[in-house]
């Protein structure tokens, strides 16, 4: 690929990294999409300059992507990548009109987020036995934190002891874009965390002091390890298809909404940048109401 295209892409990625403060994972996704797009342009149209990209080129690439069996959700993400890229090119004066102005994203059928039923979460904490060792202690408190706060897996793994606010009974969480948010927790959760910290100092005195949660070697938890044990424990109490740490985030939000929580409050607790991302949980609440009505109303 000519240096000019590479330079434009790198400039955009630097913008995402240093100004937008996107995560490495997100930046890699943008990079993959953009490289694939410009590689396609070079092969099909012998063109890689952003200022010469036409809407027809974009549609052709999207059609080619769809023909390869790529899902509408993934194609929609690729469209979003190109929109962001050309928007920045427009701001920099490199192009005069965005080729994305007349490109429409494919429709995606809305899927309600899966979640674990309240009774199943109660079964997990009240009746499932965790190993009586450091890993068991850590695994239980990780699942408690995910369910009690709705935080993302990465946010949990990177928690520091200093982010535990015992005075205000809350956690200070550093989310996407390095945005800090305050999540209130129960006194029981704070007590459990204080016990965990005290036990860590006794059991693993050489533990990484920058991390709240550590493995038995005293190192920060590995994301794959967190995923595997959360899946293992959720498999004991629920039959839903997805049993990941992110499902506990959905569970946290859905249980709040089902109990009458304000949508804006849930948005702030989850750290969403817009209300649109949070509104999906209102659908679960409506489905719950429909179910109650169907079971309880004589004319339903």
pLDDT digits (tens, 9 = 90+) for 79-129: 999 999 999 999 999 999 999 998 887 776 566 788 999 999 999 999 999
Q: What are phi and psi of 46, to 5 degrees?
A: 50, 40
pLDDT digits (tens, 9 = 90+) for 6-53: 899 999 999 999 998 888 899 999 999 999 999 999 999 998 899 999
Is 243 an active-site residue? no
Calculate mean pLDDT across residues 166-184: 91
In this model, does residue 295 exceed pLDDT 70?
yes
* Cα radius of gyration (the chain): 23
Catalytic residue of the set 8, 78, 140, 152: 152
Residues 149 and 237 in one domain: yes
Residues 87 and 178 in one domain: no
In this model, does residue 5 exceed pLDDT 90?
no
Nearest CA to 159 out of 169, 174, 146 is that of: 174
CA torsion through residues 277, 176, 113, 122, sign:
negative
In this model, does residue 2 exceed pLDDT 60?
no
Instruction: Indicate the number of domains in the chain.
Output: 2
Of 24, 56, 91, which marks where a domain is finished?
91
pTM: 0.66
Between CA 41 and CA 58 the distance in angstroms is 9
In a domain, 104, yes or no: no
Is 140 an active-site residue? no
Structure-model confidence comparison of residues 248 and 300, the more confident one: 248
Q: What CATH number should be reported for the domain holding residue 263?
A: 1.10.443.10
Catalytic residue of the set 8, 153, 200, 249: 249
Residues 150 and 291 in one domain: yes
Catalytic residue of the set 22, 40, 115, 281: 281
pLDDT at 289: 62
Q: What CATH number should be reported for the domain holding residue 77?
A: 1.10.150
Residues 145 and 224 in one domain: yes
Residues 72 and 139 in one domain: no
Residues 165 and 36 in one domain: no
Catalytic residue of the set 176, 181, 231, 283: 176
Domain span holding position 84: 3-91
In a domain, 7, yes or no: yes
Residues 179 and 262 in one domain: yes
Residues 81 and 134 in one domain: no
Q: Under a CB-based contact definition with an 8 Å cutoff, are residues 45 and 121 in contact?
A: no
Is 250 an active-site residue? no
In a domain, 241, yes or no: yes
Residues 125 and 80 in one domain: no
User: Cβ contacts of residue 175 below 8 Å, gap of 6+?
Assistant: 151, 152, 155, 181, 271
Q: How far is CA 54 from CA 14, 61, 78, 272, 300, in A?
A: 25, 11, 16, 33, 54
Residues 280 and 190 in one domain: yes
Structure-model confidence comparison of residues 215 and 73, the more confident one: 215
User: Cβ contacts of residue 199 below 8 Å, gap of 6+?
Assistant: 137
In a domain, 107, yes or no: no
Residues 51 and 153 in one domain: no
Is 272 an active-site residue? yes
Is 283 an active-site residue? no
Q: What is the DSSP string of 236-247?
A: TT---S--SHHH
Residues 262 and 129 in one domain: yes
pLDDT at 292: 61
């Amino acid at each position: 690929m000519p240096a000019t295209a590479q330079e434009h892409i790198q400039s955009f990625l630097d913008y995402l990294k240093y100004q937008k403060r996107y995560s490495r994972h997100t930046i890699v996704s943008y990079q993959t999409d953009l490289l694939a797009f410009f590689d396609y342009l070079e092969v099909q149209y012998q063109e890689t300059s952003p200022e010469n990209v036409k809407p027809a080129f974009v549609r052709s690439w999207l059609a080619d992507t769809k023909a390869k069996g790529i899902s509408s959700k993934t194609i929609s993400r690729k469209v979003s990548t190109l929109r962001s890229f050309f928007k920045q090119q427009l701001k920099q004066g490199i192009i005069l009109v965005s080729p994305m102005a007349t490109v429409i994203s494919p429709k995606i059928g809305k899927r309600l987020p899966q979640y674990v039923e309240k009774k199943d979460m109660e079964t997990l904490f009240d009746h499932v036995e965790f190993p009586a060792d450091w890993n068991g202690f850590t695994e239980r408190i990780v699942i408690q934190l995910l369910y009690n706060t709705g935080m993302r897996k990465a946010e949990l793994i990177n928690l520091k002891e200093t982010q535990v606010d015992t005075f205000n009974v809350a956690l200070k969480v550093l989310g996407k874009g390095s945005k800090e948010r305050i999540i209130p927790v129960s006194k029981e959760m704070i007590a459990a965390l204080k016990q965990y910290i005290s036990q860590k100092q006794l059991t693993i005195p050489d533990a990484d002091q920058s991390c709240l949660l550590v493995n038995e070697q005293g190192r920060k938890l590995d994301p794959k390890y967190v995923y595997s044990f959360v899946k293992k424990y959720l498999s004991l109490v629920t039959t839903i298809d997805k049993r990941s740490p992110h499902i506990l985030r959905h569970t946290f939000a859905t249980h709040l909404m089902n109990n009458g929580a304000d949508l804006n409050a849930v948005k702030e607790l989850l750290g969403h940048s817009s209300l649109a991302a949070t509104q999906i949980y209102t659908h679960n609440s409506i489905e719950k109401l429909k179910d109650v009505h169907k079971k309880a109303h004589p004319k339903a």
